[in-house]
């Protein structure tokens, strides 16, 4: 298989200071300055991403944006303590005001999912290169518009599907998949059995005074404020995302597509629903199976937010079945189990980098096992910016993985298999399904077009 960026991705080297001093849009004016960085969405993963970038590159974080005043102030204090200049970034309530300055080289977007599309497109228009969290969009037309904007404005856009920069998974490709040790592949299973769906049913309340709930809701439908919404638990509601399919399946589907060099699925089917945890206010599924047919073999997803996982060592994973062996892979490890008893099994655990980055041990809310992958993802973004090339998790790849998961939810809603035309990016012969490709935006927000 062709692995166009495998060696680049596997190399863990620092980007040359000369590269990082460069400002691509304002090279003459700012030739002696470091790249200027802004972050939209300063919550959990926004800080995780931004602080990893600071670990691998001498950049200046000059702008932060959030609709939560307390979260924004905390992030500004943390960034000032961590960046070399010790300067406190400017803070903004509205991402449009931040981008109107047009002085940012890199913009990171880590908002709730329903707020990915509009800021990403606006950042393209402002001339910045971008790191946007997954899933890239809540509906498929949003994703199409995001890809179109990146191409139209010639922006480098990296998506936060950092399995593509996970060191032990990169080595699994090199040691197991590329040498053909799996043989002919007939099935891929991907799964998540985390008990991650909230079981609470708290009453609706008045939004806290430090949160602009109107702006937080943005183009999404206006729901009564509930403490589950902010922060982090917004994933319990389909109004803001695509449930566990959009949160967890996208990671493992994208990893499988990357590892096996796959494009769009030919068809998607799904079944499931809220079968067990019916008392919760959450409206996302607690049980769902989806089949992505890639022609030569299917990728089958399952999530369940109760009970026990079939393999406790791989509760969120990709399992690739070949006639010569099986590869199990997750954020924590990989295992190759050969059919031939004379061939030695292979195992590798996640790579930690505590000696190089001791702050990883104590940073609040950091997923320590993911930190090396985020750093690798940021290095890859910087290489792509220097070369004006596509990063390993380019926006188009993020769109394919995101849209495939959205199609699974639509297949569940409609109760039928959806056949996909990858060229036209439309469901074949299904008007009802195609009407679901674009959700309605709440006024005054206007849905973007490709």
- Residue 285 within any structural domain of the chain: yes
Whether 367 is in a domain gets the answer no
Is the separation of the CB atoms in 386 and 15 below 8 Å?
yes
HSE toward the beta carbon, residue 192, CA cutoff 13 A: 23
- Cβ-based neighbour number of residue 60 at 10 Å: 17
Q: Contact 162/374 with Cβ under 8 angstroms?
A: yes
Q: Which residue has the tokens 């970038």?
A: 53
1 lies in a domain? no
Residue 267: its H or E element: strand 267-273
pLDDT tens-digit map of 135-163: 999 999 999 999 999 999 999 999 999 99
Work out the widest C-alpha separation in the chain, in whole angstroms. 66
Do 199 and 108 fall into the same domain?
no
421 and 284 within one domain: yes
Asked whether residue 95 falls in the same domain as residue 193, the answer is no
Work out whether the CA dihedral 308, 313, 316, 320 comes out positive or negative. Answer: negative
**How far is residue 157's CA from residue 355's CA, in Å, rounded to a whole number?**
30
304/431 same-domain check? yes
Asked if the structure places residue 73 within a domain, the reply is yes
- DSSP output for 411-440: HHHHTS-EEEETTTTEETT-HHHHHTTSPP
Tell me if the pTM is above 0.85.
yes
Backbone φ and ψ of 226, nearest 5°: -140, 145
Q: Is 351 exposed, middle or buried (0-12, 13-18, 19+ CB in 10 A)?
A: middle
- Verify that 192 and 328 share a domain, yes or no: yes
CB 57 within 8 A of CB 20: yes
Mean pLDDT rounded to a whole number for the chain: 93
In a domain, 445, yes or no: no
Same domain flag for 284 and 404: yes
CATH of the domain at 301: 3.30.360.10
Report yes or no: 144 and 450 within 8 Å, Cβ to Cβ.
yes
Residues 264 and 127 in one domain: no
CATH code for the domain in which residue 85 is found:
3.40.50.720
DSSP-assigned states of every residue in 284-313? S-SEEEEEEE-SSSEEEEEEESSS--SSTT
Helix (H, G, I), strand (E, B) or coil at 135: coil
> What is the residue-level pLDDT of the chain in tens, covering all 450 positions?
333 333 333 433 334 344 343 333 433 443 446 899 999 999 999 999 999 999 999 999 999 999 999 999 999 999 999 999 999 999 999 999 999 999 999 999 999 999 999 999 999 999 999 999 999 999 999 999 999 999 999 999 999 999 999 999 999 999 999 999 999 999 999 999 999 999 989 999 999 999 999 999 999 999 999 999 998 899 999 999 999 999 999 999 999 999 999 999 999 999 999 999 999 999 999 999 999 999 999 999 999 999 999 999 999 999 999 999 999 999 999 999 999 999 999 999 999 999 999 999 999 999 999 999 999 999 999 999 999 999 999 999 999 999 999 999 999 999 999 999 999 999 999 999 999 999 999 999 999 999
CB 51 within 8 A of CB 27: no
Residues 117 and 224: their CA atoms lie apart, in Å, by: 23
Q: Are residues 106 and 33 in the same domain?
A: yes
- Residue indicated by tokens 């329903």: 114
378 in the same domain as 334:
no
Tell me how far CA of residue 210 lies from CA of 64, 72, 423, in angstroms.
16, 10, 46
Kindly report, residue by residue over 169-218, the tens digit of the pLDDT: 999 999 999 999 999 999 999 999 999 999 989 999 999 999 999 999 99
pLDDT number for residue 402:
98
Residue with tokens 């000369």: 18
Place of tokens 């079939």: 310
Shared domain check, 214 and 116: no
Assigned domain for 362 exists: no
How many structural domains comprise the chain? 2
Alpha carbons 400 and 380: distance in angstroms, whole number: 20
| Domain assignment present for 182 | yes
345 and 268: one domain? yes
Residue 207: domain span: 167-353+399-435
Establish if 201 belongs to a structural domain.
yes
Same domain, 377 and 414: no
Q: What is the pLDDT of residues 221-274, one digit of tens each?
A: 999 999 999 988 999 999 999 999 999 999 999 999 999 999 999 999 999 999
């Amino acid at each position: 298989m062709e692995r166009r960026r495998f060696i680049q991705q596997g190399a863990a080297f620092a980007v040359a200071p000369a590269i990082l001093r460069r400002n691509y849009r304002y090279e003459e004016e700012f030739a002696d300055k470091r790249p200027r960085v802004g972050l939209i969405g300063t919550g959990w993963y926004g800080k995780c991403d931004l602080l990893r970038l600071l670990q691998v590159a001498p950049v200046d974080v000059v702008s932060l944006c959030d609709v939560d005043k307390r979260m924004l102030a905390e992030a500004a204090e943390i960034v000032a303590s961590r960046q070399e200049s010790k300067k406190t970034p400017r803070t903004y309530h509205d991402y449009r005001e931040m981008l109107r300055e047009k002085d940012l080289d890199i913009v990171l977007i880590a908002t709730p999912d329903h707020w990915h599309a509009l800021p990403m497109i606006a950042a393209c228009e402002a001339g910045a290169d971008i790191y946007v969290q997954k899933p890239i969009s809540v509906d498929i037309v949003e994703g199409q518009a995001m890809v179109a904007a990146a191409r139209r404005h010639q922006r480098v856009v990296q998506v936060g599907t950092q399995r593509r920069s996970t060191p032990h998974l990169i080595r699994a490709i090199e040691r197991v998949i590329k040498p053909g040790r799996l043989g002919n592949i007939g099935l891929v299973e991907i799964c998540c059995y985390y008990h991650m769906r909230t079981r609470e049913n708290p009453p609706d309340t008045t939004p806290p005074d430090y949160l602009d709930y109107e702006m937080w809701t943005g183009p999404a439908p206006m729901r009564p404020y509930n403490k589950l919404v902010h922060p982090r638990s917004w994933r319990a509601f389909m109004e803001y995302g695509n449930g566990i399919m959009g949160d967890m399946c996208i990671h493992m589907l994208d990893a499988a597509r990357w590892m096996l060099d796959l494009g769009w699925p030919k068809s998607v089917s799904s079944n499931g629903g809220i079968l067990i945890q019916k008392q919760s206010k959450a409206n996302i599924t607690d049980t769902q199976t989806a089949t992505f047919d890639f022609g030569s073999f299917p990728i089958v997803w399952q999530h369940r937010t109760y009970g026990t996982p079939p393999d406790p060592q791989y509760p969120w994973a990709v399992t690739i079945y070949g006639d010569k062996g099986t590869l199990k892979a997750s954020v924590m490890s990989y295992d190759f189990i050969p059919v031939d008893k004379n061939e030695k099994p292979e195992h590798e655990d996640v790579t930690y980098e505590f000696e190089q980055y001791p702050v990883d041990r104590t940073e609040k809310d950091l997923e320590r096992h993911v930190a090396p992958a985020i750093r690798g993802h940021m290095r890859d973004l910087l290489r792509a910016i220097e070369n004006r090339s596509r990063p390993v998790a380019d926006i188009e790849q993020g769109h394919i993985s995101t849209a495939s998961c959205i199609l699974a939810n639509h297949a569940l809603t409609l109760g039928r298999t959806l056949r996909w035309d990858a060229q036209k990016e439309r469901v074949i012969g299904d008007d009802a399904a195609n009407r679901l490709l674009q959700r309605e935006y709440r006024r005054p927000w206007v849905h973007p077009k490709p």
